[in-house]
Structure 1
Amino acid sequence: MRMSRAVFLLAFVGLAACGGDARLRDLRSFTGGPDEFSVIPGKELQSPKDYASLPTPTPGGSNLTDPNPRADAVKALGGKPGALVPGGVPTSEVGLVNYVSRNGVAPAIRQELATEDEQFRKRQSRFTKIRITRIDRYNQAYRKQRLNAYKEAARWRAAGANVPSAPPEDH
């Protein structure tokens, strides 16, 4: 009797260990973005005088109670709602933009990087399709690109740059 309970408990714990959110460290995106503000009414709900005059619903767009949801969310998080309006480069950042674009600008850099990253991940996971358990492939794929903060700080100090102190390195 005790042995069957122990086996049952062990099987239950083993099955529970298989759970969890497997998408947490997955390299693919499963959503179009956060929707934390999708169900919270920004202003008090009101009953319209005529239901026939209501505009058609626009998911992710404006509505009568929340005419500018994205700007309201940015403001609630401490940002500048005006930054959502495409209006060119702010005057405070013109010098920076001119400096970084002095050698030219690739207009489709995001798409190019996404394609190159996808190809890189496919090359890195060539023989990893067969597996018994779930494995975090993120660190495996990018381990050669990882920076060692302590070596970088030492390199910059040796070059004569002022580098802030860091916590002691764990050995």
Structure 2
Amino acid sequence: MGRAMRVGRAALLCVPLALLAACGGDDGLMNIGRSQNEPDEFAILPTKPIEIPGTLDLPPPTPGAANRTDPTPEADTVAALGGSPGALVRSGEYRGEPALLDQVTRFGIRLSIRSELASADAAFRRDKRGRLLERVFNVSRYYSVYAGQSLDQHRELERFRRLGVRTVGAPPDPAE
């Protein structure tokens, strides 16, 4: 009786520890139900160093216009890759490829597409919230929720190869 009682007490002590251990370890990056109250470290861009112009006759300020110290990641990337940053217009379109722009915009441009997609995705995630215990224990449902919308890259590569499309080399499918 004494031994069974000790085992029972030990089991009762292990249950809260197991529940406590189940609560930790989730950084929330893949949890689609988590609110975004934290700062977004990818939204912070370092500014360029301040430069003193040759002449101190500065133009009058123009609200909403670009500043010389403003970050320009697109232009910096083009310059780093050997291109001409001046080819980028203020909207971010590349003037050097009119055929590409014509092809991409052949069906028109919907300026509200980002807000439409954001609201549709929010409704989709609201419908796929998960079961009670998944919400209580903060279980990530990201992959299971979006599985129907994901692309099987290896199957698609094989489909292109069967059609005779030349493709680049790719690593083999780890599932095979």
Shared fold per TM-score greater than 0.5:
yes
Pick from 71, 76, 79: which aligns with 2:77? 79
Q: TM-score, normalised by structure 2?
A: 0.58
Pick from 29, 32, 40: which aligns with 1:33? 40
Percent identity, aligned pairs only? 27
Q: Partner residue of 2:117?
A: 113
RCO higher in structure (CA 8 A, sep ≥6): 2
Is 1:138 aligned to residue 142 of structure 2?
yes
AA in 1 matched with 2:37: F
AA in 1 matched with 2:169: S
AA in 1 matched with 2:77: G
- Per-residue CA shift, 1:27-80, capped at 9, x if unaligned? 353345327968x9986xxxxxxxxxxxxxxxxxx9xxxx83634xx49xx635
Flag the structure with larger Rg: 2
Q: Is the 8 A contact 2:47 2:71 kept in 1?
A: no
SS at 2:119 equivalent:
helix
* Structure-2 separation of matches of 1:168 and 1:35: 32
Structure 1 residue 104 displacement after superposition: 1.2
Q: Partner residue of 2:29?
A: 24
* Structure-2 separation of matches of 1:36 and 1:89: 21
Count of paired positions: 142
Structure 1 residue 88 displacement after superposition: 5.4
* Structure-2 separation of matches of 1:142 and 1:92: 37
Q: How does 1:49-128 map to 2 (within 5 A)?
A: 68=69, 70-71=71-72, 74=73, 79=77, 86-87=90-91, 89-125=93-129, 128=130
Please list every run of 5 or more consecutive structure 2 residues that lacks an aligned counterpart in the other structure.
1-5, 50-66, 80-84
SS at 1:86 equivalent:
coil
Please list every run of 5 or more consecutive structure 1 residues that lacks an aligned counterpart in the other structure.
44-61
Q: TM-score, normalised by structure 1?
A: 0.60
